[in-house]
Amino acid sequence: MKIFNIIYRFLFPAVVVAVGCIVVGAYDDANTYMDQALRDCLVKYCDSRYRNEIINKYKSTTVLVSSKFSYDYGIEYHNNTLILKAKDKKTAEWLIDQYVRHLAYTDTHFTNCDLPPTIIDFGKTVHKNFDFIYREPHFSPNLKERYQPFSGASSVEEYWDLWGHNLYKELDIDTEKQQVICFTNDIFYNKVVKFLEEKSRSLRTGRIIIMPMDTMSACTCTECQKIGNKNQYATPAVMNMMDKLKERFSKTKYTFYTAAYHSTQQPPQKPPKYRLSGLLLSTSDLPKGIALDPQNDLEKDFIKTVQAWNNYADTLYVWDYAANYNDFLTPLPILYVLKKNLKFFRDNGISGVFLQGSGYDYSPFDDIKTFVATALMIDGQLDVDDLCSRYFTQFYPVSAKMMTDYYLSLEKNMEQREKKYDLHGDMKDAIDSYFCADDFFRFYENLGIILSENKMESNEKNRLEKLYSALSFTWLQLELYRQTGSYDITKINGKTLSITPDIQTVISRLSAYEHHGFRKYKEKGEREIKDYLDFWSLFAEK
Ligand SMILES: [Zn+2]
């Protein structure tokens, strides 16, 4: 059957005229062709000398977009014609990008393709839904413009028009001084309204998430108490304000979300007037680093909370965690457990994931975590080992085996030992749950050897030098413990540190952190690596 007939008979009721395989003509309003986007992508990745040849070679591929498709994306083969199908334009752009990157594996005319490996099998017909509609691994690679939109990940920068605690920054509220916000107070409400009115001129998505301060405290003024607030329970006042905002902005593009976290973890006892567009549920009470089990008490409580909030919100997302916020630089494996826990979330009706990693700060292996976590949020059936191996092979061609073996050994330790890790732990917690110092020293030494051999191209070399510099922090932490019995350099109780030439070399390596583009080793407190290094000189034997 010719492509014209296929399109005419099965896809569109309207009159369609086909010229070659590029379809033009009248069609159902809900359907859009993205053939131009495909051609643009072919041109973007190919060697410019072969531009026309490439466009001609792949002209029998067509791209269709329709919100009426019963799946998010599809791949269909009809004789020699490939049809890429997507439910919306953004998905179509991602699918096109995947397809052209897939072509680049075998067609040597594509030379400008340096994005992560593809995760779709283009060899057969498929129709699939994304496992999650909101997919954010919150690590620095995902926050770079270059990564969007082709990775298939979402990012706070493009998904929300107003995100979380940013509201207070925008309204110039000093969150250090003001620990609790009164959500029934007219002054605060009017400020929010004014801000939203001004912002409405430059909206991207219209999604607004408003949440209380990052504390357990709730406002218990007379007005807040009257509508149900109690100590550590701010949900009634927050939901009351969400109702007012929903009413006030009912004729706009705004959609309103809040978070179930700390003082708003528990749902309202009295139903609000309007359903929220969505809710972000924190998993802070759930264990980290082990697979969630619906038979355990904490998980049972979480499921109950999800079910209760489900009555008041159209979509439920989780705010999950994937870092040790006290130590961003010691390697932390997250992927095996994430794969299992994404299934747990899906089974319990969650449709989006904000996975808070080290955010804008660098952490070792954040590139592989960003890539694999995104892939798993798209399709939880994908294999973590295979994804890691393909990623390392592409971006670390010389050191791929060493990188894959070490990173996956961390994952395997975490999985086999089944011990939870602390979101604000220290090296001792890491050692108790997954970290093996001997393996680490071996890997660190091998990194040094492979870098000294100077066999790799600059991109790989830069990545490894950055990793080597960052891991010097972990090396020093282990040395600190060996010498003092403490992992906290601010509390070594008058002891002095012996600085051998080897240690001095590692200190110098970490001292190059700014050159490698990172600055912090933890989220809060004394953040600067500079402070940490200053302690080493302060306590050095004189
Ligand atoms: Zn109040």
The domain locations on the chain are 3-128, 134-384, 453-538
Label the pairing between strands 276-282 and 255-260. Answer: parallel
Q: What's CA 377's distance to the chain center, in Å?
A: 9
Q: Are 71 and 129 in contact (CB under 8 A)?
A: yes
Q: Which residues lie near ion ligand 1 (Cβ < 5 Å)?
A: 182, 184, 219, 221, 224
Give the model's pLDDT for residue 98: 95
pLDDT 10s digit of each residue in the chain, 542 long? 333 333 333 343 333 333 333 333 333 444 678 889 999 999 999 999 999 999 999 989 999 999 999 999 999 998 888 999 999 999 999 999 999 999 999 999 998 887 889 999 999 999 999 999 999 999 999 998 767 668 899 999 889 998 877 788 888 888 777 778 999 999 999 999 999 999 898 888 999 999 988 889 999 999 999 999 999 999 999 999 999 999 999 999 999 999 999 999 999 999 999 999 999 999 999 999 999 999 999 999 999 999 999 999 999 999 999 999 999 999 999 999 999 999 999 999 999 999 999 999 999 999 999 999 999 999 999 999 999 999 999 999 999 999 999 999 999 999 999 999 999 999 999 999 999 999 999 999 999 999 999 899 999 999 999 999 999 999 999 999 999 999 999 888 889 999 999 999 999 999 999 999 999 999 886 568 999 999 999 999 88
Amino acid (1-letter code) at residue 59: K
* Distance (Å) from CA 476 to ligand 1 centroid: 48
Collect all residues with Cβ–Cβ distance below 8 Å to 198 and sequence separation of at least 6.
none
Q: Are 312 and 509 in contact (CB under 8 A)?
A: no
Q: Residue 211 half-sphere exposure, CB side, CA atoms within 13 Å?
A: 25
Give the model's pLDDT for residue 271: 94
Report the candidate in 64, 111, 83, 57 with the shortest Cα–Cα distance to residue 1. 83
What residue has token string 């905002």? 245
* Distance (Å) from CA 385 to ligand 1 centroid: 51
CA–CA dist 224, 188 (Å, integer) = 13
* Distance (Å) from CA 203 to ligand 1 centroid: 30
Give the model's pLDDT for residue 118: 94
Q: Are 370 and 141 in contact (CB under 8 A)?
A: yes
Pair of tokens at residue 313: 């919100």
DSSP conformation class of 207: E
Pair of tokens at residue 242: 């969400």
* Distance (Å) from CA 530 to ligand 1 centroid: 42
337-344 long-range contacts (CB < 8 A, ≥24 apart) are 337/289, 337/290, 337/291, 337/414, 337/415, 338/373, 338/376, 339/376, 339/380, 339/384, 340/291, 340/292, 341/291, 341/292, 342/131, 342/132, 342/376, 342/377, 342/380, 343/380, 344/291, 344/292, 344/294, 344/299
Give the model's pLDDT for residue 32: 76
* Distance (Å) from CA 220 to ligand 1 centroid: 6
* Distance (Å) from CA 179 to ligand 1 centroid: 12
CATH architecture of 134-384: Alpha-Beta Barrel (3.20)
Query: Residue 270, Cβ neighbours under 10 Å: how many?
Result: 10
Give the model's pLDDT for residue 31: 64
Alpha helices in 366-457 (DSSP H): 366-378, 384-395, 400-417, 427-433, 437-453
Cis ω before 149 (30° cut-off from 0)? yes
Distances (CA, A) of 158 to 73, 82, 319, 468: 21, 31, 17, 32
In sequence order, what DSSP letters do the residues of 1-15 get, joined into one string?
A: --HHHHIIIII-SS-
* Distance (Å) from CA 233 to ligand 1 centroid: 12
* Distance (Å) from CA 231 to ligand 1 centroid: 11
Q: Are 36 and 65 in contact (CB under 8 A)?
A: no
∠ Cα 342 346 352 (to 5°):
80
Label the pairing between strands 126-128 and 73-78. Answer: antiparallel
Q: Are 294 and 247 in contact (CB under 8 A)?
A: no
* Distance (Å) from CA 254 to ligand 1 centroid: 25
CA–CA dist 326, 513 (Å, integer) = 18
* Distance (Å) from CA 461 to ligand 1 centroid: 55
Give the model's pLDDT for residue 99: 95
What residue has token string 């992508």? 41
Q: Which residues of 90-127 are buried (b: 16+ CB within 10 A; e: fewer)?
A: ebbbbbbbbbbbbbbeebebbeebebbbbbbebeeeee
CA–CA dist 467, 474 (Å, integer) = 11
Give the model's pLDDT for residue 214: 85
Give the model's pLDDT for residue 1: 34
Phi, psi dihedrals of residue 63, rounded to the nearest 5°: -125, 130
pTM of the predicted model, to two decimals? 0.92
Q: Residue 215 half-sphere exposure, CB side, CA atoms within 13 Å?
A: 12
